[in-house]
Amino acid sequence: MRTKIYLWLLTAWLVFGSGRLPAQQVMLYQQSPVDMYVINPAFAGYDENIHLNLCYLKQYAGITKSPQSYYFNVYSRLGKRPAKVYKQYSLRISQPGKYSTVGKPKASKIIHGTGAFISNDAYGQMKKLNTGLSYSLHYRLNEKNTAAIGLSAGLVNFSFNKDGLIPDIPLDETLQQFINQNYSTSFINLNGGILLYSSKWMISYSAHQILGNQIWLRSESNPYQIQLHHFLSAQYKMSIKQGKLKLNPSLIVRYLKGIDPLVELNTLLYTDRYWGGIAYRLNNSALLMFGIKWNKINVGYSYSLNTNVLFNNTAGSHELLLGMTF
């Protein structure tokens, strides 16, 4: 039955989809609030650390050939200025503290960031591979607030491999022809974003698949439109229990033309070593996540349960995130 669901969705996409894929073109990962670079390239360089993240997401467990995704990224600041060190001399002066600040590097108003990423989304025989590089520029507005812009560019490959596909329902001629051709196509992709942030809050907007490429999966008269995606997010950081706990409520909205916005409300609670949180995607799913931090390593797990029409057909979705900070 669940194999039939997969094949029915594939048939509906090819025959009735009018060039639109029902599955997500741009993935919204469950632990995005922990790694916001996956949404907005402007986050590269937002702090002084080097970040490495590896994530795996298995959606709709229990359905044959259900979607699964992974990504790996690395991002950091560029051109960090080392502090100057001056030798100490034995000469006495009347005001020893007068020159205590001499030689200390002045904080630059402009900070540069860079990053690299690779991701793969697989839905049965359909696959999307995305690779690219990013650059960001951060400008200090004042002592507390910073504005940033970011851009990423890369290559996307869509492919369909018929190997391993054993239909258990009759296929119409259009679907059969598509399956037989083992289709593959690639195109250049651009993403961009802006970011306003301080140590207490952040507001982010990003656009994915800006070029709006067209690709032809069936015929030149019926192109498949790569949809522009919009992401709007906001986060606030609070300290409670005299700083022993940190509470981070956040909001993420994903929008693309012709589909209802996906709105996610999220709350994360941090201690020095552990973190956990809950989230709700309106009319879609409920999420539970937790993780542990050990030295420079962060391991997170999340589980989501569908609250929409897929509720009775899946065992939920699982995501594992492994991160390192230097």
Instruction: Give tens-digit pLDDT for 23-82.
Output: 457 889 999 999 999 999 999 999 999 999 999 999 888 777 788 999 999 999 997 655
Of 32, 38, 25, the C-alpha closest to 235 is 32
Is residue 120 included in any domain, yes or no? yes
Supply angle C-alpha 312, 313, 317, rounded to 5.
105
Of 172, 170, 162, 212, the C-alpha closest to 190 is 212
Q: What is the mean pLDDT of the chain?
A: 84
The predicted structure's pLDDT at residue 130: 96
The stretch 284-304 carries a mean pLDDT of 96
The answer to whether residue 84 scores a pLDDT higher than 60 is no
Maximum alpha-carbon separation in the chain? 94
| CA–CA distance, 304 with 281 (Å, rounded to integer) | 10
Is residue 97 included in any domain, yes or no? no
Is residue 94 included in any domain, yes or no? no
Is residue 192 included in any domain, yes or no? yes
The predicted structure's pLDDT at residue 182: 60
| pLDDT band of 224, cuts 50, 70, 90 | confident
The whole domain housing 275 covers 2-79+107-325
The predicted structure's pLDDT at residue 107: 64
Instruction: Give tens-digit pLDDT for 85-135.
Output: 445 555 555 555 555 555 555 568 999 999 999 999 998 778 899 999 999
> Token digits for 91?
């000469």
Residue 114 amino acid letter: T
Give the percent of the chain with pLDDT over 90: 58
Residue 92 amino acid letter: R
* Counted domains in the chain: 1
The stretch 175-196 carries a mean pLDDT of 82
Is residue 96 included in any domain, yes or no? no
> Token digits for 27?
């993935």
Query: Domain of 218: which CATH number?
Result: 2.40.160.40
What does 59-103 look like in DSSP terms, one character per residue?
A: -STTSTT--EEEEEEEEEEE-PPPPP---------S-GGGGTTTT
Is residue 295 included in any domain, yes or no? yes
| pLDDT band of 183, cuts 50, 70, 90 | confident
